[in-house]
Amino acid sequence: MVCLGNICRSPLAEGIMADKCKSLPVDVDSAGTAAYHVGNAPDPRSQHIARINNIEIQEQKARALKSSDLNEFDAIYVMDKSNYENTIKLAENEAQKRKVYMILNASKPGSNEDVPDPYYGGDHGFKLVFDLLDEACEIIKNQLETELNG
């Protein structure tokens, strides 16, 4: 799960996806395309919206996306078009580029919609982000279950 700072959107995406995939053999992680917040815990507003949905993300620490992530992980879900461009720049071949998905295309196929950056807004933005990510992650989890069982 990839966003810009790895303190607002992608920590929530990681927490939501990890919660949904508890019974699946799946490793979920997150990172940011920028390094401003490396080592920091998720934004308190992300922690709050997660907690009221029974998901704990406080132990996460921000890290920067690295090119080896595109090798190590089978799928990279980015939050917005800017993250997409920055992630694709790290790819070393076409196979790695094909692993990069706009996360809301899971719930809104072909739309290329962004998960809006909530950093400069209020709590409402974090609820919207949570709801968008919950919907997309549910679909991704169902796809994974089908792949793993098929």
- Give the residue among 25, 13, 115 at the shortest CA–CA distance from 60: 13
Say if residues 7 and 129 touch (Cβ distance below 8 Å). no
117 catalytic per annotation? yes
Q: Which of 1, 4, 76, 144 binds ligand 4NP (CB under 6 A)?
A: 4
- In the complex, minimum distance from the CB of residue 119 to ligand 4NP, in angstroms, rounded to a whole number: 4
15 belongs to the binding site for ligand 4NP (CB under 6 A): no
102 belongs to the binding site for ligand 4NP (CB under 6 A): no
| The 31-32 sheet, strands edge to edge | 31-32, 2-3, 76-78, 100-102
3 catalytic per annotation? yes
Considering CB under 6 A, how many residues would be counted as binding ligand 4NP? 10
Q: Which of 1, 9, 17, 96 binds ligand 4NP (CB under 6 A)?
A: 9
CA distance 126 to 95: 33
**Contact positions vs ligand 4NP (CB under 6 A):** 3-9, 36, 117, 119
